[in-house]
Structures are given as structure tokens and as C-alpha cells.
Amino acid sequence: MSLIFNAKVALFEALRAVVPAGVQCTFAERGQSDRRRQIWMGATVDEELEPVAMRAGPRKPTAVTGYVEAHAVVIVPGDPMAAERGAYELRELVADACRAVDRAAVAGLVDLRPESSSVETAETTDGAYSALTVRVRVRGRTTT
């Protein structure tokens, strides 16, 4: 459904507005870690389409629930605790961006909020890094 995609675009624009200088923010993964702190949008999933009313005619109101993922990486040479702390800071920015999205700007959007997150921290020859994935639930209502 385009509702989920439109919500993803609105979330990306809100995220670009809240990330501080020094954090690279892109719509898709660039495939290279040339920045110490970066965040990008991931998968878009339409999970539930449920009719919410029965009425005559070809178009029916439908409740839509889907998910959008935001990914981030923080690299800190030799300090895994600082890397993980940075990942949690970026997680809070995703939550701030969800609150900043104008619901009226996305037709049919009812709710947009982080549902879960995971952080993985490791040390490599490039330094300590933390990888973050935030799953954002998108709920809305459309007429299909």
C-alpha cells in the first residue's frame, strides 16, 4: 500500500530534520561505512489489511498495519561502550522523528511509533561498532 511508503518518506524527512551534524542520513543503505555515525531507512512491510466496514460499492474502508525499519551504525575506535551509547542516542532520534511526523500530511495515517529495537555491538580492526535496527509500526486507514 502506498500509505506505508508515504509514511516511510515522511519519517525519513522528519529524521533528516532531527539528526545532528555529523550523522549521515540516507534513504537507503550506501553499502560503505565512510562515516562514524550513519542512519538509513530499511525494509517496508505491509503486514495486515483488514476490512473495517461492510458497505455497498466497490470501495471498502480498510485498516492497514505495516512496518518500516530504520538502521544505524555507530563506529568508535576502541570503545564499544561509547559505540553502543551512540546507537541508543540514534534510537531516541528515531522516536523523536516519529513524533515529529505530521499525521495530516500523510493521507490515512493514524499512528506511527517505534515498536521494537535491537542493538548489536562488536569490535573489529576498524574499531568498535554498534548496529541498530528500529522497527516502526505504521497504522492507517484507506479506502480500497
Residue 95 C-alpha cell reads as: 522516536
Across-strand partners of 134? 70, 117
Q: Is the dihedral of CA 37, 112, 108, 62 positive or negative?
A: positive
Cell of 102: 505530521
* Burial class of residue 53, CB neighbours in 10 A (0-12, 13-18, 19+): exposed
3-class SS of residue 110: strand
Return mean pLDDT, the chain.
89
Report whether 41 contacts 8 (CB < 8 A).
yes
The pLDDT confidence band at residue 1, using thresholds 50, 70 and 90, is low
Average pLDDT of 127-137? Answer: 94
* CA end-to-end distance (rounded Å), the chain: 10
Contact 101, 113 (CB under 8 A): no
pLDDT one-digit tens code per residue, 20-63: 998 999 998 876 666 789 999 999 887 777 777 776 677 778 88
State which residues form the domain around 78. Answer: 2-143
CATH code at 70?
3.30.2000.10
Tell me how many domains the chain contains.
1
Distance CA 77, CA 141 (A): 46
